[in-house]
Amino acid sequence: MTSGLSLVLVRHGETEWMERGRLHGRLDSPLSPTGRRHAELAAARLRGEQFQALYSSPLGRAMETAAILGRAVGLTPQPVDGLAELDFGWLEGAPAPLWREEGWLAAAFRPVRALIHRVSAEQPDDFGDRIARTLEWISSRHPHGRLLIVGHWAVFSRLMAVMLAKPGVDWRSYGPWEACGISEMRRAAADDNGRSRWEIVRLNEASHLREAGAP
C-alpha cells in the first residue's frame, strides 16, 4: 500500500440501549434523541470537509448515524460487513453489571462471562483477522484521499491495534471512543520493511458535542 490515505472515524451516536446500559454487539437499538442530536453536531463539524467515500458498519445504529453525516458531506453511506461490531454471543442484550469489568457483580460473573465468550462469541483472532482484511480491502480501493468511516467501539479499538501494531499492547486498551466523537488516522510512507505506517491526526475529538448546549 502507498501513502496518501486518511481515515476519519466516527463512532455511532448514543442509542436507547446505551442509555439503559445494555450490550449491543450484533443486536441493535435505534439512536436516542440525544444520539441523533450528537450525530447532527458531528455532521456540522464535518460539513465542508472533502471525502471520497463514506463507509459504515451495516448495523442500524451505525447506518442511521452515517445517513446524518452523509447528508452533510454529500455522500451515500456504503455498508461494509467487515465493519460490524464484535459478536459478543450470548452476552448481547445483557445489562451493564454483567458485561462491564468493574464492580463486585462483574468480578463474580467474570468466569461465566469468559466461558460464554469462548463458546458463543467471535473469537479474538477471528475478529483481528476480520478487521485487518477490512482495512486492506478499503485501502486497496482508495490508495489516496480521505474516507469517512462510521463504526463501533470494539471495531475502532481493534483497527487502531492493526494500524499502530505496538508489540505487547492489548487492542482493548485503545479508546475510549465517545459516541459521535471524531478521530483521524493518516497513512504515512512505508517503513524500511515495506509495512504501512499510520499516524494519529486527531483522537476522540468531542468538543463539538459540548457546544451550543448539547446534552
- Under 8 Å between Cβ of 148 and 69: yes
Sequence ranges of the domains in the chain: 5-87+123-210, 88-121
Task: Identify the weakest region by mean pLDDT among 109-118, 146-155, 171-180.
Answer: 109-118
Of 114 and 71, the one with more pLDDT: 71
Q: For the sheet with 197-205, list strands across it.
A: 78-79, 53-56, 145-151, 5-11, 182-188, 197-205
Task: Identify the weakest region by mean pLDDT among 80-84, 95-99, 155-159.
Answer: 95-99
pLDDT attached to residue 194: 64
> What superfamily would CATH give domain 5-87+123-210?
Phosphoglycerate mutase-like (3.40.50.1240)
pLDDT digits (tens, 9 = 90+) for 36-70: 999 999 999 999 999 999 999 999 999 999 999 99
Going from the C-alpha of 28 to that of each of 3, 12, 14, 108, 154, the distances in angstroms are 36, 12, 12, 27, 15
pLDDT attached to residue 215: 59
Cα distance between residue 191 and residue 197, in whole Å: 7
pLDDT digits (tens, 9 = 90+) for 96-138: 888 887 778 778 888 888 899 999 999 999 999 999 999 999 9
pLDDT attached to residue 192: 64
